[in-house]
């Protein structure tokens, strides 16, 4: 009887309940996954593919005209038109990336080495050094514009004996790019320092102790212990900063707006000018965005390969 009851209990009603419970778990899972997936598809995946489609079309988002298929013409115009200034924009971006990332690595790593040893006030100094990277790039751009001002700013005051007779950093075609590099280095060296500090603190002390017993010089210890141990994190910093340098926009707009002429016009600034600012060349700007994306992916791959090689030893 008890068995019969148990059978009755585990009959169709209970099975339905169990099914409901199982379905319910799946539903809950779906409820978590699908909104995110839908959001991703709408906000990331669809625009990604739609902009790829638009890059093969002549299209302006404000023209009320449907996209007109032009094949590779937008890409040809960017890469092969003799009067195209896009190569110049890529050159400016490349110079900027090499200079700013290179200097950030040197200064960031140097700061990390200095702050590696704990001393009285080192925590406060580390926090103060980190402040620039917490600021908004547009704000940084605008106040450095004032700092570089030849008549009112303090930069020339410190660099030259006669501030008024000093250089106009933001209007000189050669110095303007350096001005942006200086600000970027000031802002982002702390980030590199932070990564390097975490790498340095992870190096076991016994390595140095063993080296000291073997009478290894400080330089030898640095070259054979410190550098190889920090290299993976340093490469990650290079990767992040290079990607950011290729997207440099807000700081450049805040400081120079790409001037004088297009001497400091990075690819991102040019992209903005093509996509908006009265032009609204949506098709051509989509093509340019894809070229930038391909360059960033290529550069990132090179770094990741290098990173793997370093890890494999």
By CB under 8 A, name the binding residues for other proteins.
Answer: 61-64, 83, 85, 148-153, 164-165, 168, 170-173, 253, 256-263, 273, 276-281
Interacting residues of 89 by C-beta distance below 8 A, sequence separation 6+ = 262, 265, 266, 267, 269, 270
What does the alpha-carbon distance between residue 184 and residue 128 come to, in Å, rounded to a whole number?
17
CB of 205 to other proteins, least distance (A): 52
CB of 302 to other proteins, least distance (A): 32
What does the alpha-carbon distance between residue 100 and residue 178 come to, in Å, rounded to a whole number?
9
Q: Helix, strand, or coil here: 68?
A: strand
Give the residue with the Cβ less far from other proteins, 83 or 215.
Answer: 83
Contact between residue 312 and residue 232 where contact means Cβ atoms under 8 Å apart? no
CB of 247 to other proteins, least distance (A): 19
Q: Helix, strand, or coil here: 152?
A: coil
Give the residue with the Cβ less far from other proteins, 171 or 221.
Answer: 171
Give the residue with the Cβ less far from other proteins, 112 or 175.
Answer: 175
Contact between residue 252 and residue 266 where contact means Cβ atoms under 8 Å apart? yes
Q: Helix, strand, or coil here: 135?
A: coil
Give the residue with the Cβ less far from other proteins, 190 or 258.
Answer: 258
Q: Helix, strand, or coil here: 124?
A: helix
Helix (H) or strand (E) holding 248, with range, is: none
Give the residue with the Cβ less far from other proteins, 60 or 300.
Answer: 60
CB of 261 to other proteins, least distance (A): 2
CB of 69 to other proteins, least distance (A): 17
The 10 Å Cβ neighbour count of residue 232 is: 16
CB of 57 to other proteins, least distance (A): 15
| DSSP symbol at 69 | E
Give the residue with the Cβ less far from other proteins, 108 or 258.
Answer: 258
CB of 225 to other proteins, least distance (A): 48
CA 94 distance to own-chain centroid: 14
Give the residue with the Cβ less far from other proteins, 125 or 262.
Answer: 262
In 41-136, alpha helices (H): 46-54, 73-80, 86-115, 122-134
């Amino acid at each position: 009887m008890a068995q019969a009851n148990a059978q009755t209990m585990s009959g169709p009603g209970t099975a339905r309940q169990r099914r409901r419970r199982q379905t319910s778990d799946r539903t809950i899972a779906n409820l978590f996954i699908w909104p995110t997936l839908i959001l991703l598809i709408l906000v990331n995946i669809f625009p990604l593919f739609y902009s790829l489609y638009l890059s093969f079309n002549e299209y302006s988002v404000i023209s009320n005209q449907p996209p007109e298929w032009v094949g590779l013409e937008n890409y040809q115009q960017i890469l092969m038109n003799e009067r195209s200034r896009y190569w110049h924009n890529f050159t400016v971006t490349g110079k900027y990336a090499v200079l700013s990332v290179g200097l950030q690595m040197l200064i960031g790593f140097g700061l990390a080495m200095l702050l590696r040893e704990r001393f009285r006030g080192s925590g406060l100094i580390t926090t103060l050094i980190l402040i620039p990277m917490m600021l908004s790039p547009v704000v940084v751009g605008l106040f450095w514009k004032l700092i570089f001002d030849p008549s009112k700013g303090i930069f020339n005051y410190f660099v030259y004996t006669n501030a008024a007779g000093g250089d106009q950093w933001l209007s000189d075609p050669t110095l303007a790019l350096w001005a942006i590099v200086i600000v970027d280095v000031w802002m982002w060296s702390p980030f590199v320092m932070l990564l390097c500090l975490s790498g340095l603190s992870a190096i076991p002390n016994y390595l140095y102790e063993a080296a000291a017993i073997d009478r290894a010089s400080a330089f030898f210890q640095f070259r054979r212990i410190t550098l190889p141990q920090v290299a993976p994190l340093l490469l990650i910093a290079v990767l992040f900063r290079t990607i950011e340098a290729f997207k440099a926009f807000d700081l450049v707009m805040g400081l120079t707006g790409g001037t004088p002429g297009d001497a400091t016009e990075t690819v991102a600034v040019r992209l903005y000018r093509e996509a908006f600012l009265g032009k609204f060349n949506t098709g051509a700007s989509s093509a340019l965005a894809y070229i930038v994306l391909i360059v960033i992916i290529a550069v990132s791959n090179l770094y990741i390969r290098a990173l793997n090689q370093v890890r494999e030893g």
